[in-house]
Each structure stands twice: as structure tokens, then as C-alpha cells.
Homo-oligomer: A and B are copies of this chain.
Amino acid sequence: MEQDHTPGEKKPGHPPAQSILHEVRTAENSAAHLLPKLQSMKESNPHLTLLDVGSGSGTISVTVAKLIPDGHVTGVDINANILPRARAVAETAGVKNIDFQQASVYKLPFADETFDVTFCHQVLIHIGTPWDALREMLRVTKRGGIVAAREGDYESECVWPELPELGKFHKLMAGLMSAGGGAPTAGRQLLSWALKAGVEPSQVTVSYSTSSYHTPSERKICSQGLCDQLRGGGLREKALKFGLGAEGDFEEMAKAWEEWAKRDDATLAMLHGEILVQK
């Protein structure tokens, strides 16, 4: 879900500055738990249909679409302003078996049993009743199909070195997720949410993976993305709105991320929970 898009920035050929961290996402680094299953489903049916819920800038949707060239991917996002960017990402990649439209995960504009695979990434962590979202995703999925989700567990975040301002940033981010109705511990709760959506334990396959930034170039991308959010993005606006920070705080945190990026010993890693639900 594209949470941090600034409504003013609508140039479809250019990502919003703060989206740099979202646009490194691909099927390979963000949906690896789904890919073996997708491959085996494709072997028996090359014309797979896949719904990517909360597709944001579309980089995962587009790389999944490349993997099923005879199939079709539909991306939906609650934020209509991000759709032009997603379409531009698809066009730049030369991917044609894809379309994007505006929709809420709570009310998907599709008939029952429409898709072979329904997927979401970093969506359920932001919303109040993720089990309702999963139930809706199950509804639009064919019998014999798959619902797949991958959500970060923000409380597992590992940052080194332990600069005090980075600790404050962690609390700010967790506070923003909670204030928006989400759960910073989404990753560990995915199984419980699937069961709450009415799924039997035997239908769910759980796994965990990580994301991390530790090479100089990765640290630079990470720092730049976070600094952009702190200095002018939606994160700053939301933090001010919810009273979770004052003007001066954001610049201090941004400077700490810049210092972090320059340290040879700096790393950032997080655990992500994953589920595959067999309908």
C-alpha cells in the first residue's frame, strides 16, 4: 500500500521522492514465498490471473506479471494518486499483461472467485481489521487458488549502531502505525489473522524472511528514502497531525540516518511474516 505518497506529486514518469524505498520491491525480494507455488500453478494453467492488493508504485505487480506472461495481473490501491506511477512503471518495463485501478481491500470490486492468486504486501500492517481484508481477499479468489500475504514485523527491527535519534525514529514509526489503526507486530500475527478470517490451520503455510540494508549503496538508498520522508513526505505530515513529533525532531532524525549511512559497521534488518492460504 502506498501510504506515503504526497498528493501534490503526480508526475507519472517520476516516483514521489519518498517512494525510493518502495520501488526497490520486486516479486523476487518481496514475494519469494509465493513464487514456487506460482510456478507450479503456471505449469498447469499458463493463463493465471493474479490480484495485487495495495499495489502502490507497482514494482511488485510488474515483476510478477513478467513471471506469468500468458496470465494477467490486476493491481489495486486505495490511493488513486499512485495509479499513474504504477502504469508508468509497467510501461517502462514493457509489461502489457497488467492493469491498475482504485479500490479498498475491504471492498474489492470483483465477483466471487475471480482470481487464481490474491496477494498483498505491507498492507495489513496499516489497517484496523486485517482479518476482514483477508476474508475479502479469499472471497475474490477461486477455489483451489491461493491467498498470499507478506507483512513486516516492525518490532523485530534491528538497527546498528544504536544512535539515540534512530531509537526515537523507531518509536515514531511504530506510533504512526498504531495511530493509523495498524499493528507494528503484523508479521507475527498473520497466522492468527488468517484463522480469524475463517481459515482452517491446515490451509495455512507460514514462513518468515528478512529485508536488510547493509552495503554502502543499500545504506545510501535507505537513508535517502527515510530522510526524504522526514524532511517533506507524508510521514512528516502524519506525525504532526497525530502529535507524534515536533518540527525540530524530524531534522535531528534525518541527520542521524545520514550519519548511519556513512558508518562502515551500520546495518538495518527486519523480519517479515508470510502466509500462503490454500482456498
Contacts and interface: CB of A to CB of B under 8 A. Distances in A.
Interface residues of A, number: 31
Contact of A264 (B155, B187, B195, B273): B195
Copies in the complex: 2
Interface of A: 153, 155-161, 185, 187-189, 191-192, 195, 201, 206-210, 212, 214-215, 264-265, 267, 269-271, 273
Contact of A188 (B159, B187, B195): B159
B265 A273 contact: no
Contact of A189 (B153, B156, B160, B273): B160
Nearest to A216: B201
B210 A185 contact: no
A43 to B, nearest CB: 26
Contacts of A214: 191, 206
A197 to B, nearest CB: 12
A189 B266 CA distance: 9
A78 B187 CA distance: 37
